[in-house]
């Protein structure tokens, strides 16, 4: 290794020096033309390698010198570049095209940012991908639908009315091309939209179908019976919960249940001759109106029940004062004209007293025994 005269570093090219004995002068040597060309190529290669190593070792120094020279000759460089560009337009165009192709995304992003800063969001942006175009198209269609929803629905309804057969055929064709999962998903979405508008629509439809369709009613009854037989405990639990919820929401139903229970307790094994509301002698609404007409100050359906400050349904003539073994006696005891609202404390004090007498079932048993004798 021999130190370089310019850099004072070990030159890698020192070993590559070619002496005159190794590379003779072609004018003084009768060597073949091919060997001389090889020697010239080797010399150029060594020179290029030397320059590369020199530039890497003196990178900062060369950059500083170039910068100083460029600042000192700014006008000359500007004029030189201008003249070169005028003389080589094709090279400039090819160079710009290569740069734009290589940096296309970055250039577009910078252009969009500059445009947004100066003019705001554009109405139209070029060079979008196909996925982005499709997304924007759907978004525009959705916005248009929301803006013109009522008009579009009216036009669609009118078209279906004018082209009934064609509309049905198109719907059938579209539905036939859906998979099972897609059909299930569409049905669920349609039901969700329907219930959102009218939560009781399905119940009303099924109720009407249950009343008018004999086959559907028989099918539902059979299915319910089979389920109750297969799940007796759960069926009873659901029935109790349903009964409690209905009693809380419907005070008249609660009264009917209490009357039925009270009658069964009073019968003590006797046969109930008719259903409860038939014995009452009116429908539920009439019973409700009758009791409301007898309300005392402070009474309302909110404080109906057992306990202090609440009222109950009382029999004016106690049930023990009637002969409950006959249909006439049961109707007389349960008739709505024999019912009245009474405060819970008063009902406890009244008990089975009537016309100064405390009535019990034994009174009727003795009277019945006397008549038999």
Give pLDDT, residue 7: 46
The two tokens of residue 373 are 């004798």
Full-model pTM: 0.43
CA distance 52 to 46: 10
Taking only the tens of pLDDT, the chain with its 373 residues reads: 344 444 444 444 444 443 333 444 444 445 555 555 568 888 888 999 999 999 999 999 999 999 999 999 999 999 999 999 999 999 999 999 999 999 998 998 888 888 878 876 666 656 677 888 888 889 999 999 999 999 999 999 999 999 999 999 998 999 899 999 999 999 999 999 999 989 888 889 999 999 999 999 999 999 999 999 999 999 999 999 998 898 888 888 888 888 888 888 777 767 778 888 888 888 888 988 999 999 999 999 889 888 888 998 998 888 888 888 888 888 888 899 989 999 999 988 888 887 778 777 666 555 555 444 4
DSSP letter for 353, please: E
Contact predicate 108/127, CB 8 Å: yes
Contact predicate 290/339, CB 8 Å: yes
Query: Coil, strand, or helix at residue 315?
Result: strand
CA angle 298, 304, 306 (to 5 degrees): 115
Contact predicate 266/322, CB 8 Å: no
CA distance 300 to 309: 11
Contact predicate 316/338, CB 8 Å: yes
Going by C-alpha positions, the residue among 304, 301, 262, 254 that lies closest to residue 279 is 262
Give pLDDT, residue 23: 41
CA distance 343 to 304: 9
Give pLDDT, residue 132: 84
Give pLDDT, residue 256: 85
Task: Tally Cβ neighbours within 10 Å of residue 324.
Answer: 22
The two tokens of residue 275 are 């259903």
For 283-313, give one letter per residue: b (16+ CB within 10 A) or e: eeeebbebbeeeeeeebeeeebeeeeeebbb
Query: Coil, strand, or helix at residue 311?
Result: strand
Alpha helices of the chain — where are they, by DSSP H? 33-57, 59-72, 74-87, 89-102, 104-119, 130-147, 149-162, 164-176, 180-197, 201-212, 214-230, 232-249, 251-267, 276-280, 284-293, 327-334, 344-350, 361-372
Which residues have CB under 8 Å from 49's CB, separation 6+? Answer: 12, 13, 16
Give pLDDT, residue 76: 92
Give pLDDT, residue 167: 92
246 vs 223, 257, 265, CA distance in Å?
24, 11, 22
């Amino acid at each position: 290794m021999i130190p370089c005269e310019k850099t004072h570093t070990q030159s890698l090219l020192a070993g590559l020096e070619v002496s005159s004995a190794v590379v003779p002068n072609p004018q003084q040597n009768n060597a073949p033309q091919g060997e001389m060309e090889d020697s010239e190529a080797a010399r150029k290669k060594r020179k290029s390698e030397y320059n590369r190593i020199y530039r890497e070792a003196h990178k900062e120094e060369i950059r500083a010198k170039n910068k100083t020279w460029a600042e000192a000759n700014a006008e000359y460089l500007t004029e030189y570049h201008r003249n070169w560009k005028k003389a080589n337009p094709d090279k400039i165009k090819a160079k710009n095209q290569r740069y734009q192709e290589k940096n296309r995304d970055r250039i577009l992003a910078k252009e969009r940012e500059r445009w947004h800063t100066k003019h705001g969001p554009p109405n139209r942006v070029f060079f979008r991908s196909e996925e982005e175009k499709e997304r924007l198209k759907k978004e525009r269609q959705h916005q248009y639908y929301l803006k013109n929803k009522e008009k579009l629905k009216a036009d669609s309804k009118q078209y279906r009315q004018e082209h009934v057969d064609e509309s049905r055929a198109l719907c059938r064709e579209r539905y036939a091309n859906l998979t099972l999962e897609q059909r299930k998903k569409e049905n669920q979405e349609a039901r969700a939209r329907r219930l959102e508008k009218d939560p009781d629509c399905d119940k009303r439809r099924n109720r009407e179908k249950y009343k008018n369709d004999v086959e559907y009613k028989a099918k539902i009854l059979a299915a319910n019976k089979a389920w109750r037989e297969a799940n007796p405990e759960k069926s009873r639990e659901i029935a109790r919960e349903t009964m409690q919820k209905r009693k809380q929401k419907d005070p008249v139903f609660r009264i009917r249940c209490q009357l039925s229970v009270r009658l069964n307790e009073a019968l003590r094994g006797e046969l109930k001759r008719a259903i409860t509301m038939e014995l009452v002698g009116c429908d539920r609404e009439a019973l409700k109106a009758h009791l409301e007409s007898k309300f005392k100050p402070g009474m309302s359906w909110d404080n109906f029940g057992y306990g202090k400050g609440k009222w109950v349904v009382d029999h004016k003539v106690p049930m023990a004062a009637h002969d409950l073994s006959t249909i006439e006696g049961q109707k007389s005891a349960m008739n709505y004209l024999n019912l009245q609202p009474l405060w819970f404390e008063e009902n406890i004090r009244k008990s089975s007293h009537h016309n100064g007498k405390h009535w019990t079932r034994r009174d009727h048993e003795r009277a019945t025994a006397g008549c038999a004798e």
